[in-house]
Structure 1
């Protein structure tokens, strides 16, 4: 069972989340030849003050 874990900054709408989950599921099924009910997608919101790149918080 494929599990896709997406971490992204908060602020996406429910419609954007639905579309992302559907597109990721469809692409996984096409690529791996598995049924849609075998694919799980976890969407995790991360606040900018909890994510850093090159030692600098995105909130800065």
Structure 2
């Protein structure tokens, strides 16, 4: 029984997650001949604050990017 675990950031549409589940299931069937009913897929969603790259969470990076954009837009108006 193949078990496929996927970690992804929260926020995707339910339809997109269903497509991912179907694609992963089909890949397991094609790659190793697993019976469809034996394939298990686990999606683990995480908040951007719970995932970091280079020592900075994605939430903090998004906040910094947004703040930088606001400052840039404000300076363009001056």
* TM-score normalised to structure 2 length: 0.73
* TM-score normalised to structure 1 length: 0.94
Aligned-partner Cα distance in 2 for 1:59–1:34: 38
Question: Structure 2 regions of 5+ residues with no counterpart?
Answer: 61-78
Please list the CA deviations of residues 22-58 of structure 1 after superposition, one character each: whole Å capped at 9, or x if unmatched. 0000011100011111110001110000111121111
The aligned length equals: 60
1:24-35 correspondence to structure 2 within 5 Å: 24-35=24-35
Q: Is 1:57 paired with 2:57?
A: yes
SS in 1 for 2:59: coil
Higher relative contact order (CA 8 A, sep 6+): 1
Question: Structure 1 regions of 5+ residues with no counterpart?
Answer: none
- The answer to which structure has the higher helix fraction is 2
CA RMSD, 1 decimal: 0.7
